[in-house]
Amino acid sequence: MAMKRQIPFALVFIFGIFMLFQYFVPHESSEWVYEFLLDWIYIIGILALALGIWSLFRVSVDKIKTKKPNWVYSYVTLMGLFIMTVFGFTAKTGDSWGLYPVFVITFMLALFMLIQVLAKPASRNLYGLFGGAFLLAAVLIAILDRTWGFYFMEAKGLQNSMFRIFFDDVMMPILSTMFALLAFFIASAAYRAFRARNLLASLLLIAALIVMLRFNPYLPYAAYVAKVSNWLMNVPNLAGQRAIVIGIGLGIVATALKVILGIERGYMGKG
Amino acid sequence: MDIFEKMMKLDRRWIFLFLIIVCVVTYAIPFKVPILVEPEVRSIYNFIDSLPPGDIILVAIDYDPNNLAELHPMTYALVEHAWRKKLRVIFTALSQNGPGMAEQAILDISDSLKQDRTFNGVHFKGREIKNGIDYTFLGYKPYYALVILGMGQNFRLPFPTDYYGTPLDSIPMMRGVLNYDQVAGVIDLSGGSITDAWISYGQGRFNFPLALGLTGVMTAQYYPYLGSGQVFGIMGGLLGAAEYEELADNPGRAKDGMRIQLYAHMVIILFIIMGNVGYFAERRRQKREEKGR
């Protein structure tokens, strides 16, 4: 038990202190250890990524299994995750795609059957049988079809036209649309929130109006409004933001010290 | 419910409807909006414009498709300006969906560079933009703070190869380019917290000139760094991009979008005024009623 607590504390203390002093030591060996530690963060991160994918898979399958609200979308999540992974690791070797579309379909069907096996244990044998057959078909196509191939060590898959089409024509419009909807909510929120209820609210309202009008060239005193807006951004806004930034900075230093000295133990799942 | 109460408690669906009508109408009718350029955008333009041909700048495309409308026009205007000036560009993309954005921008701008164009009275002959000579695209690596720190030691630490798998030492442009010391400046175009890492871990530690291109909502947050000199310029939102296009004499998506944004803002202001008129009338009515009792 002591090992379980003391070793992590010791590691955090040693590496925390090292990283703190390393910043001020421009010696070659210090730089080498620093680079070595950066590499370790990548290694830990990659393992965390694998854990994250596994966790997403489990959570989505559980959602389907227990039929939680919007469980159908979990299929979309999983299919999206795996189809983009397949596109990212495959590329054509010649001019044609050969049996690639059949491979993608059979692979996705195999995945669908796997999800069904996990989500519906009662029919596991039937889904398992179909899943195995689809997987076998996908593997055979992958082995026998020479018009395309897997590229795990090269970035060729990123040039896969399917990868680009899915990114440019599916991902980009979806995310842009989500963000564009914000404009409507901001308009509605501004209408409700900007009311001159008291002195402070009135100041906020006036400042907001000036900043919104700053690029309106049709106003009679457009250049003057732009100057006032610039002053608002560069003086009162700067002062307020600077106070916040300094406060946050001091907070970060205090929290880092608390973690290094073992006072803050939240990272171990304890308060 | 009287008219003033209605003005104060308008159903938000009316706001949505009115806003969409204004957006569609202003999108459909082509007209130009004059742009007033602010000093913080001018300083970025002047910086790029003053660099001699062959100098290297680093453009960090740290945004996802959701910030496309505001930040993509900045990338287009800035990179086209840099390439017309024959600067060389190192691209990085430290947000997950950044590589797709960067690649799209690189291909589009490369196409545009093939045409002869005249900007601010200067004629630029069209030319082929070549990967490895005019630019290097390093791609994406997770943990942006570490990547920024790593590039300060050597670009090859976080990126032994470029996005397409070519070793950095085999890329003609990267020969002799070790770290930020060989880069004239960094322009971070970002829609999230990666900007903080560029300021703290990048500029703070390695002291290179840094400029920011940010979404409209983020802009106010980064003015302290402009005041302290840690950042030499800020382009804020679509307006910032339109200002850069105005300076570069290269009207594009941002100037096009400004007419929609201008009228959308006017609609929002109109609704704010309406809400306040309703609020004050309602308050006066309540006071009158209280006196009457």
Taking each continuous run of H as one helix and of E as one strand, the counts in chain A are 10, 2
Do residues A61 and A97 both lie within one domain? no
Q: Please tell me which of the candidates B35, B163, B224 has its beta carbon nearest to residue A155.
A: B163
Do residues A146 and A42 both lie within one domain? no
Q: Cβ atoms within 10 A of the Cβ of B100, count? A: 22
Q: For residue A220, tell me if it sits in a domain.
A: no
Average pLDDT over residues B101-110: 93
Separation of alpha carbons A49 and A79, rounded Å: 18
Do residues A15 and A63 both lie within one domain? yes
Separation of alpha carbons B141 and B126, rounded Å: 33
Do residues A110 and A47 both lie within one domain? no
* Last residue within a domain, chosen from A9, A43, A68: A68
Q: Do A187 and B279 touch (CB under 8 A)?
A: no
Separation of alpha carbons A179 and A188, rounded Å: 15
Q: Which residues contact A241 (CB under 8 A, 6 or more apart)?
A: B220, B221, B222, B223, B224
Give yes or no for a contact between B44 and B246, defined as CB atoms under 8 angstroms apart.
no
Q: For residue A270, tell me if it sits in a domain.
A: no
Q: Do B15 and A196 touch (CB under 8 A)?
A: no
Q: For residue A77, tell me if it sits in a domain.
A: yes
Distance from the Cα of B53 to chain A's closest Cα (Å) equals 31
Do residues A137 and A115 both lie within one domain? yes
Question: How many CB pairs lie under 8 A apart between chains A and B?
Answer: 144
Strands B135-137 and B88-92: parallel
Torsion angles phi and psi, residue B51, rounded to 5: -75, 140
B24-53 pLDDT per residue, tens: 999 999 888 888 888 999 999 999 999 999
Residue B271 at interface with chain A, using a CB cutoff of 8 Å: yes
Q: Is it the case that residue B72 has pLDDT exceeding 70?
A: yes
Span(s) in chain B for CATH 3.40.50: 34-251
Do residues A128 and A52 both lie within one domain? no
Separation of alpha carbons A104 and A112, rounded Å: 12
Mean pLDDT estimate for chain B = 92
Query: Best interface-test mutation with A: which of B223, B239, B259 has the largest number of A CBs within 10 A?
Result: B223
Do residues A59 and A76 both lie within one domain? no
Q: Which residues contact B181 (CB under 8 A, 6 or more apart)?
A: B206
Residue A268 has what pLDDT?
77
Name which of B134, B149, B139 is nearest B101 in CA terms: B139
Average pLDDT over residues B78-101: 94
Q: What's the pLDDT band for B142 if we cut at 50, 70, 90? A: confident
Q: For residue A264, tell me if it sits in a domain.
A: no
Residue A121 has what pLDDT?
86
Give contacts of B100 with chain A, Cβ < 8 Å: 164, 167-168, 171-172
Q: For residue A210, tell me if it sits in a domain.
A: no
ipTM above 0.95, yes or no: no
Separation of alpha carbons A50 and B266, rounded Å: 49
B201-214 pLDDT per residue, tens: 999 989 999 999 99
Residue B215 has what pLDDT?
93
Separation of alpha carbons A22 and B102, rounded Å: 34
Residue B34 has what pLDDT?
87
Give the architecture (CATH level 2) of B34-251. Answer: 3-Layer(aba) Sandwich (3.40)
Residues of chain A numbered 2-21 and touching chain B (CB < 8 Å): none
Q: Do B104 and A168 touch (CB under 8 A)?
A: yes
Cα-Cα-Cα-Cα dihedral of B240, B242, B248, B253, to 10°?
Answer: 130
Do residues A46 and A106 both lie within one domain? no
Average pLDDT over residues B228-252: 93
* Last residue within a domain, chosen from A129, A162, A193: A193
Q: For residue A135, tell me if it sits in a domain.
A: yes
Predicted TM-score (pTM) of the model is: 0.84
Residue A183 has what pLDDT?
86
Do residues A139 and A186 both lie within one domain? yes
Number of domains in chain A: 2
Residue length, chain B? 293
Q: For residue A136, tell me if it sits in a domain.
A: yes
Helices (H), A93-151: 100-119, 124-144
Do residues A83 and A145 both lie within one domain? yes
Residue A215 at interface with chain B, using a CB cutoff of 8 Å: yes
Torsion angles phi and psi, residue B3, rounded to 5: -60, -40
B154-169 pLDDT per residue, tens: 999 889 999 988 999 9
Name which of B90, B81, B77, B89 is nearest B49 in CA terms: B81
- Domain of residue A35: give its range: 1-68
Q: How far is CA B91 from the centre of its chain?
A: 15
- Can you list the positions of beta strands (E) in A10-159? 90-92, 148-150
- Of A134 and B293, the structure prediction assigns the larger pLDDT to A134
Q: What's the pLDDT band for B272 if we cut at 50, 70, 90? A: very high
Q: For residue A139, tell me if it sits in a domain.
A: yes
Mean pLDDT by 10 residues, chain A (271 residues): 79 88 82 82 86 94 92 93 91 86 94 92 90 95 90 79 87 89 90 90 91 81 86 89 91 92 80 48
Do residues A11 and A76 both lie within one domain? no
Do residues A84 and A142 both lie within one domain? yes
- Of B60 and B291, the structure prediction assigns the larger pLDDT to B60
Q: What's the pLDDT band for B130 if we cut at 50, 70, 90? A: very high
Give contacts of B163 with chain A, Cβ < 8 Å: 155, 158
> What per-residue string of b and e applies to A67-94 under the rule 16 or more CB within 10 Å gives b?
eeeeeeebbeebeeebbbebbbbbbbee
* Last residue within a domain, chosen from A147, A178, A193: A193
Residue A151 has what pLDDT?
87
